[in-house]
């Protein structure tokens, strides 16, 4: 396995890690806001609108991580002769349908 993902661990540069955590914190904030909306008996349509926005934010974060995974871990594994990772990426795509 390559240095990128040695033993299923991904060491990310600090700037990338900060950006991902920042996005994740915004998503957590959205979810906390939705919880508060439910606690306050807000109208269903309003809650569903916010849930759709949070879902899109999660999907966007997942897409960023998947893209980076393909550009680094998958490419490095294939270049080092480990073509078994092709099955891994196929499984990932199936999960994100």
**Do the domain assignments include residue 56?**
yes
Average pLDDT, the chain: 91
Three-state SS sequence of the chain: CCCCCHHHCCCCCHHHHHHHHHHHHHHHHHHHHHHHHHHCCCCHHHHHHHHHHHHHHHHHHHHHHHHHHHHHHHHHHHHCCCCCHHHHHHHHHHHCC
CATH number, residue 56: 1.20.58.1000
pTM, to two decimals: 0.83
Q: What is the pLDDT of residues 33-53, one digit of tens each?
A: 999 999 999 999 999 999 999
Phi, psi of 35 (to 5 degrees): -60, -45
**Do the domain assignments include residue 4?**
no
**Do the domain assignments include residue 19?**
yes
Domain that holds residue 39: 12-95
**Do the domain assignments include residue 62?**
yes
Two structure tokens written together for 16: 């990338």
How many structural domains is the chain composed of? 1
**Do the domain assignments include residue 87?**
yes
**Do the domain assignments include residue 80?**
yes
């Amino acid at each position: 396995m390559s240095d990128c993902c040695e033993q299923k661990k991904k060491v990310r540069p600090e700037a990338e890690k900060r950006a991902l955590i920042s996005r994740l914190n915004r998503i957590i904030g959205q979810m906390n806001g939705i919880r508060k909306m439910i606690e306050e008996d807000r109208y269903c349509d309003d809650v569903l609108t916010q849930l759709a926005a949070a879902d899109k934010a999660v999907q966007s974060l997942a897409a960023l991580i998947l893209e980076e995974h393909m550009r680094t871990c998958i490419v490095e594994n294939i270049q080092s002769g480990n073509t078994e990772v092709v099955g891994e990426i196929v499984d990932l795509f199936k999960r994100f349908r």
